[in-house]
Amino acid sequence: MRTTSCALILAAAACAPPTGYYEGFAPLELRSEDLDPETVHPVVGNFVQQEYYLDFRAPAPDELAELRPEGSTPMEQIPWIRRDDVELSVRYRLENRSDAPIRAFVLVDGATEFFDWNPIGFFGMGGGEDANEVPYPSLLGFFPLSLEPGEVREGEFREDDLREAMLDLDVLTRFCGGPFALLYNRSDVDPVGMEEVPEGAVFAGMGMVRMTLGATGPARLDYAIRVRDRSSRLFDANADSLRYDFVPEPFLPAALAGPADAAMDPNGCPTPMEMP
C-alpha cells in the first residue's frame, strides 16, 4: 500500500457557482513490485490511494462559534462545508498495464470537516482475515471491473452519485448510521440507517476526496474532479485571507472501535479512534 496526500487549490470565479475540472496531481499506479501479498486487501487486492483536500475559505471566528457552540457534539453542530452547497463528480481513465487479464477497483471515499471514512485503509484493525474481519465498503465503486490485457476503461461518478455518497458519509459518521444499511441502499428509495438523523439536519459536504486504485495486476488510474460551488466558499486568493484548515477525525465502525465498554460520545455513538 502507498498513500499520498495533496491539497487541491481552487480559485472561485466571480460568478456563482464556479465550475471546473481539476486534474489529479499524478496518476495512481500499481506496478509489479507493488503487488505484495502482505498488504493485499481481501476484496480490492493491492491498492494505492491519493487524497484531495478541497480549498475552502475559513469562516470568521464568530461564524464558527455560531456553527459549533461550546460544549456541543458533532451531531449538534452545523457544518461550514454543506452538501447542498457543493456538487462533485469524478471522471476517470483506468488502464490495465499488463499482458494478462486483471480485476480492478476505482473507489471514492473521503472526509467531511468532522470525520474521515477510509474503509480500505483501516481493514486489519479488527484482526484481518485471520479473525474473519468483514471488509467495509467504500462510498462508491465497491464492485470489480474486469479488464483484458492492455484494455483502457473510462467512467464517471456523476453528481447524483457523489450527492448520495456525501449523505452516506455524514450519516454513518455523525449520526450513528449503519454502514451496510446506508451504503447498499439509495436514500431516496429506502431511508434505512437514517433513523437517528434529527429533523431539519444540515448535512455536511465532502471537504476531502480520496481516490483508491485496487487491482490484481499492474494498472494506472487518471482522474479529474469536477466541482461546482453554490455558496462561494471556495478560497479566492483575491478576496480571502484564510483557508479553512479542518482536521477530520478518522472514523471506525462500532465493531472495530474497541470492547463493549469503549468510550461513547453523548449521542451514544462510538468515539472515533486515532489511526496507527
pLDDT digits (tens, 9 = 90+) for 203-227: 999 999 999 999 999 999 999 998 8
Sequence-distant (6+) residues with CB within 8 A of 39 are 1, 46
Q: Kindly state the helix (H) or strand (E) to which residue 162 belongs, with its residue range.
A: helix 159-174
Q: Are 146 and 140 in contact (CB under 8 A)?
A: no
Long-range contacts of 182-185, Cβ-Cβ distance < 8 Å, separation of 24 or more: 183/137, 183/138, 183/139, 183/142, 184/137
Is the model's pLDDT at 110 over the cut of 60? Answer: yes
Closest CA to 218 of 37, 72, 57, 32: 32
Q: Which residues pair with 49 in a beta bridge?
A: 3, 212
Point out the least confidently predicted range of 112-116, 121-125, 138-142.
121-125
For residue 239, the Cα-to-chain-centroid distance in whole angstroms is 29
Sequence-distant (6+) residues with CB within 8 A of 192 are 178, 181, 182, 185
Of these ranges, 25-34, 49-58, 163-172, the one predicted with the greatest mean pLDDT is 163-172
